[in-house]
Amino acid sequence: MDLGSSTKHSPSRSPSHSPLPPYSGTPMQDAPLYMMSKLMMMNGHSPDVEELRRDVMEMKGSMMLLRQQMEGLQQTINSLQSAMSAQPQTTNGNYVDMLPSKDSIVYKMSSKEVLQMLDKLNLSQYKEMFEREEVDGQLLSELDEDTLKSELGMTSKIHRKKLLLVIQGKQTYQHLVVET
């Protein structure tokens, strides 16, 4: 692209068009103004250099604002990534709020006690699958929502949440403790 003399005009242009603003070769300052003026002249418009300067300055301000917003978003993303890396993950990579400790009541349950807990939670329709898979408290403590749905047939999200609240110790389950 020839960015030569700014006073060259094609013979078809009328002399009423303003000459192109001088191009100093500083890309970030003069190039947008120069290119906008050249485009306007090519389309038969007479460029108002001062108006173009204002437009370019406004665009630069908008770009600076967008850059600041992007930096703020990047900081938010970094914070979220940091918080997520501190969260425990299940074996399939899903994040969980809290895995029960080995001292929890659920963790220590036998397979039979897990089945009784399902009864007390009004989730007895899942007992057959839990029994077939021999789910005890230790195994139950490791399960996440996806596994409850795909492997144990808990299609209701409410039912999965209900059980997960007990597993995670977020629901009081003292009334669920089974006497052995």
Domain map of the chain by residue range? 31-86, 111-176
For 111-176, CATH number? 1.10.150
Closest CA to 111 of 135, 138, 143, 140: 135
Residue 83, phi-psi category: left (phi > 0), alpha (psi -120 to 50), beta (remainder): alpha
CB 20 within 8 A of CB 6: yes
pLDDT tens digit sequence for 109-164: 999 999 999 999 999 999 999 999 999 999 998 888 999 999 999 999 999 999 98
Residue 153 CA from chain centroid, whole number: 29
The average pLDDT across 27-47 equals: 67
pLDDT-derived band at 13, boundaries 50, 70, 90: very low
This prediction's pTM: 0.43
